[in-house]
């Protein structure tokens, strides 16, 4: 299949946000609405309010006290075997705690859950699947959600994961929002994804040190996946990434913010959640909390540890104008820099691994032109890209339609077949 592409030159990025590469960083459809607030509440204010962070997990496995103990990103800080999961039969479960890096280049401890099928082979295929996480609470992350009985926290990709496990692939599920549940911080997700793969390959008992690696994710998980693919050549060049499958990924969150505006919206809770998440990662550049009025602070506090349904219920039908002290949209250079820093379209890196990308041509929730522009830039740079359109009625249907093709694409890469391209 062929595509017509548009070219849009990236703007310069905020120098303070450039990565330190020498040290090597909704429900599904609605994550794409989740950045509108972060650019609406940035004008100076005399009122001071600190960022709000999630309640710390009482399990010492998640502690940040040893975050700097690892000498380099990907160093393993702790491992543990977990109880088997009935939704993944004939599979053992591990959790790894590892050193990673946040958006301001400080060391953090991150966690990934590893599903190891009984039929896997030594140095067999390793898939890192970036789950769709739209939440601010630590209990919403995959490592916790896998072990809850709450149907609202279920891992929606379980059917696809069982296909991968049946093929003998080991699957890693990173908590890619990091220890502060920094919803909206896509670049952070890419760094944690890559460091999680490093950690998996550094555990001798897993026998994956020389495994070929693939990345996959859709929507918010696609953002983390796409960032990992673009960051890998500089951030983790030693990883043998043989293929990437990314679908429905919001490639430009600043453009989404502009398109969605500030009118009341049913997904406003996710918008505010993304603003809170980005403030957690960039507290000096995005003083979101300082710009909220009393109603905004109350809503922020209600969302601080929430998962998807509570976020949506709390914010439904509200708007930025109700909760902020300013209506100055996208006026701050720091705000634009943060948005660019978490927009794949703006990141200058190009994946060297073959990429399969899929989306709907009429997806109302994401800026499709940004996907096209990003793919075009990759093609012009010599990347191997197969981009496929799936006409469908909504964002999540596109995920289901493209999943079988994505798995087959990665299977072919694991088998060493040359990757197709329709650049």
101-135 pLDDT, tens digit each: 999 999 999 999 999 999 999 999 999 999 988 89
Helices 308-315 and 294-303, axial angle in degrees (round to 10): 160
What pLDDT is stored for residue 198 in this prediction?
A: 98
Residues 6 or more apart whose CB falls under 8 angstroms from that of 378 comprise 350, 351, 355, 385, 423
Taking the C-alpha atoms of residue 218 and residue 216, their distance in angstroms, rounded to an integer, is 7
Lowest-pLDDT range, 8-12, 96-100, 278-282, 288-292? 8-12
More confident call, 255 vs 196: 196
For residues 268-297, average pLDDT? 91
Q: Within 10 A of 207 (CB to CB), how many other CB atoms are there?
A: 16
Whether residue 261 has pLDDT greater than 80: no
- Strand pairing of 91-101 and 76-82? antiparallel
For the 15-37+52-253+339-414 domain, the top CATH level (class) is: alpha beta
Distance of CA 221 to CAs 116, 132, 201, Å? 21, 5, 21
- pLDDT tens digit string along 340-392? 999 999 999 999 999 999 999 988 778 899 999 999 999 999 999 999 999 98
Query: pLDDT tens digits for 25-35?
Result: 333 333 333 33
Tell me the β-bridge partners of 112: 96, 174
The CA distance from 298 to 289, in Å, is 11
What is the secondary structure of 254-306 as a DSSP string? Answer: HHHHHHHTTS-BTTHHHHHHHHHHHHHH-TTT--GGGGB-HHHHHHHHHHTT-
Taken as a whole, the chain contains a residue count of: 423
Long-range CB pairs of 144-147 (<8 Å, 24+ gap) are 144/57, 146/85, 146/93, 146/113, 146/173, 147/82, 147/83, 147/85
Q: Tell how strand 126-130 and strand 170-174 pair up.
A: parallel
pLDDT tens digits for 315-329?
Answer: 999 988 889 887 554
Q: Tell me if residue 72 falls in helix, strand or coil.
A: coil
Q: What CA–CA distance (Å, rounded) separates 403 from 355?
A: 14
Helix (H, G, I), strand (E, B) or coil at 172: strand
pLDDT higher than threshold 80 for residue 46: no
pLDDT band at 49 (very low <50, low <70, confident <90, very high): confident
pLDDT digits (tens, 9 = 90+) for 162-208: 999 999 999 999 999 999 999 999 999 999 999 999 999 999 999 99
DSSP for 27-48?
-GGGGGGTTTGGGTS-S--S--
Question: Which pLDDT belongs to residue 364?
Answer: 76
- What's the token pair of residue 225? 């996946």
**What pLDDT shows up at residue 331?**
57
Query: Which positions ≥6 away from 327 have C-beta within 8 Å?
Result: 40, 262, 320, 321
Could you report the per-residue pLDDT of 301-352, keeping only the tens digit for each? 999 999 988 998 999 999 888 898 875 544 578 888 999 999 999 999 999 9
């Amino acid at each position: 299949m062929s595509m017509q592409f548009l070219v849009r030159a990236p703007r310069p990025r905020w120098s303070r946000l450039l990565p330190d590469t020498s040290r090597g960083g909704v429900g599904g459809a609605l994550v794409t609405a989740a950045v509108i607030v972060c650019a609406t509440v940035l004008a100076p204010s005399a009122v001071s309010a600190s960022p709000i962070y999630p309640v710390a997990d009482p399990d010492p496995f998640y502690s940040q006290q040893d975050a700097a103990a690892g000498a380099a990103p990907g160093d393993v800080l702790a491992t543990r075997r977990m109880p088997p999961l009935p939704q993944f039969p004939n599979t053992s479960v591990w959790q790894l705690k590892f050193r990673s890096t946040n958006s301001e280049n400080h060391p953090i401890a991150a966690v990934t859950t590893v599903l190891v099928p009984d039929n896997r082979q030594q140095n067999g295929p390793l898939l890192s699947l970036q789950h769709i996480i739209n939440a601010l609470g630590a209990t919403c992350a995959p490592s916790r959600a896998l072990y809850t009985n709450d149907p609202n926290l279920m891992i929606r990709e379980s059917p696809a994961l069982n296909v991968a496990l049946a093929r003998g692939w080991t699957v890693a599920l990173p908590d890619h929002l990091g220890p502060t549940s920094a919803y909206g911080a896509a670049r952070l997700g890419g760094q944690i994804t890559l460091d999680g793969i490093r950690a998996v390959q550094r555990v001798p008992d897993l026998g994956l040190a020389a495994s070929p690696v693939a990345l996959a994710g859709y929507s918010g998980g696609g953002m983390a996946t796409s960032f990992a693919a673009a960051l890998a050549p500089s951030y983790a060049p030693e990883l043998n990434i043989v293929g990437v499958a990314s679908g429905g990924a919001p490639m430009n969150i600043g453009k989404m913010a502009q398109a969605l505006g500030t009118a009341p919206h049913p997904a406003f809770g996710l918008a505010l959640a993304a603003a809170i998440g980005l403030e957690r990662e960039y507290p000096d550049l995005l003083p979101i909390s300082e710009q909220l009025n009393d109603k905004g602070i109350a809503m922020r506090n209600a969302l601080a540890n929430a998962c998807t349904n509570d976020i949506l219920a709390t914010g439904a039908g509200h708007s930025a104008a109700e909760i902020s002290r300013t209506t100055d949209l996208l006026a701050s250079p720091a705000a634009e820099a943060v948005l660019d820093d978490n927009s794949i379209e703006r990141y200058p890196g190009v994946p060297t691994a073959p990429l399969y990308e899929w989306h709907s041509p009429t997806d109302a929730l994401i800026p499709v032109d940004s996907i096209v522009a990003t793919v075009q830039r990759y093609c012009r740079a010599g990347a191997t890209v197969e981009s496929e359109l799936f006409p469908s009625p909504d964002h999540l249907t596109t995920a289901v339609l493209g999943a079988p093709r994505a798995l087959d694409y990665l299977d072919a890469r694991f088998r060493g077949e040359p990757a197709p391209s329709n650049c």
